[in-house]
Amino acid sequence: MSQSPTRDDFERYMVPNYAPQRTIPVRGEGSRLWDQDGREYIDFAGGIAVNALGHCHPALVSALKGQADKLWHLSNVYTNEPALALAKSLVERTFADKAYFCSSGGEANEAAFKLARRWAHDTHGAHKDKIISFRQSFHGRTLFTVSVGGQPKYSEGFGPIPGRIEHAVYNDLDSVRELIDDATCAVVVEPMQGEGGVVPAEADFLHGLRALCDEHQALLVFDEVQSGVGRSGYLYAYMHYGVTPDILTTAKALGGGFPVGAMLTTDRVAPSLAVGTHGSTYGGNPLACAVALAAVETIDTPEVLSGVMRRHALFKEHLEAINRRHGVFKEVRGLGLLLGAEMAPAYEGRAKEILPLAMEEGLMALVAGPNVLRMAPSLVISDTDVNEGMARLERAIGRFVQGA
Ligand SMILES: *Cc1c(COP(=O)(O)O)cnc(C)c1O
């Protein structure tokens, strides 16, 4: 019999682009996970805002198993029932008239940026190709999406990168006014920056972007890969702000852990992705779409969404109480169940040191950059798990402060 894989196998067999924790989780249920040794953890990381219904939610397991016995894959030569049902559901629940499916957030953004360029090319001419995005933004790891993203470390050394992309300052409308012109085809923005440090947009900023895009016939693209599917307490964060984009990308929580992404857009823009212009082998995969439909239907209910708001208050209360006792944070921020605690000046740049200590106490958390401790738990995490998880986090933070 072959032995179980070990963490050493990571260095032995895998490309070194990640540095995972030592622990290997093997099973999950709700907001609890167990590792190879049977140790139990509470999950405040949520697979980086993916496991929006926790682990092995019955509605998702049942959708996956039901579809597994029917049909797995067809290709784009045929359409399929789960893809059509998911497209209809997303269109009925949002501003969008049309959906395009793929398998990840990066791919959804790749489609969005290509569509923006192609639409501008078709309707205005080849000169209208400039994309404006924001410093610190994150849009994925393909060459186009790291180029639009505002973190140069992700595109360094991979050049030449796609051109005609400029970066403004997040939440600073004047910095956009300086860059935008009639050759701009799109402004791309996360309504809440996730990887960039859990920074929600100001409402005036998003309303201002909408007006600037209209003035210059540019498309407004919202990357809701991290903020979408209930995370903000609304199905999509644009609903919280009351600002409607022309294109919206969604992934992460959309499949609740099954890989799926989507780009949503309007009837005005969609025709530029005419037959043959774009595609993806797995886009609209029946397994992925069946699970995503179950996730969207389960999450987009008044009970789950109002539950997100209630849990937001509970998380904030706990984090602020921990901070009163240990003074580690400068600020606790975020919308719904995407929360960021920025480190106090005395602990500048050291958020990451808390993660292994938290693991030792039985808690999984995240960082967003060097200075922000991030949490993206299940939208339906129980109060018991929140309270116990916070007790574990406080023990880890107590040790962090003592060792400091
Ligand atoms: C995670 C993320 C992406 C990339 O999604 P992948 O599925 O990793 O390709 C894009 N945009 C935002 C805002 C994200 O948080």
Using CA atoms, how far residue 207 sits from 114, 185, 212, in Å, is 24, 18, 9
Closest C-alpha to ligand 1, atom 10 = 139
Average pLDDT, the chain: 97
**Distance separating alpha carbons of residues 206 and 129, to the nearest angstrom:** 22
Mean pLDDT of 8-13: 97
Q: Say if residue 299's pLDDT is above 60.
A: yes
> Which of 390, 103, 84 shows the shortest CA–CA distance to 260?
103
Instruction: Give mean pLDDT, residues 244-269.
Output: 98
Q: Is there a shared CATH topology between the 8-56+302-403 domain and the 71-299 domain?
A: no
Confidence of residue 3 (pLDDT cuts 50, 70, 90): confident
| Whole-number pLDDT of residue 298 | 98
Please tell me the distance between residue 150's alpha carbon and the centre of ligand 1 in angstroms.
13
Q: Is 225 in the pocket of ligand 1 (CB under 6 A)?
A: yes
Domain 8-56+302-403: CATH superfamily is: Aspartate Aminotransferase, domain 1 (3.90.1150.10)
The CATH number given to 71-299 is: 3.40.640.10
Provide the pLDDT confidence category of residue 404 given band limits of 50, 70 and 90.
low
Cα–Cα distance list, 264 to 115, 299, 386 (Å): 11, 18, 33
CA distance 228 to 251: 8
Verify whether ligand 1 is closer than 6 Å to residue 110 (CB atom): no
Chain segment 328-371, per-residue pLDDT in tens: 999 999 999 999 999 999 999 999 999 999 999 999 999 999 99
Q: What is the DSSP letter of 198?
A: S
pLDDT tens column, 217-232 = 999 999 999 999 999 9
CA pair distance 238, 95, nearest whole angstrom: 10
Residue 106 CA: nearest ligand 1 atom is: 9
- Three-state secondary structure call for residue 146: helix
% of the chain exceeding 90 in pLDDT = 99
Q: What is each CA distance from 395 to 62, 324, 355, 371, 388, in whole angstroms?
A: 37, 14, 12, 20, 11
Write down the domain spans for the chain: 8-56+302-403, 71-299
Q: What is the mean pLDDT of residues 4-31?
A: 96
Question: 20 pLDDT band (50/70/90 cuts)?
Answer: very high
DSSP code of residue 5: P
| Nearest Cα residue to 207 out of 162, 159, 158, 243 | 243
Give bridge partners of residue 54 from the DSSP assignment.
52
DSSP per residue, 223-253:
E-TTTTTTTTSSSSHHHHHT---SEEEE-GG
Q: Are 49 and 252 in contact (CB under 8 A)?
A: yes
385 Cβ closer than 6 Å to some ligand 1 atom: no
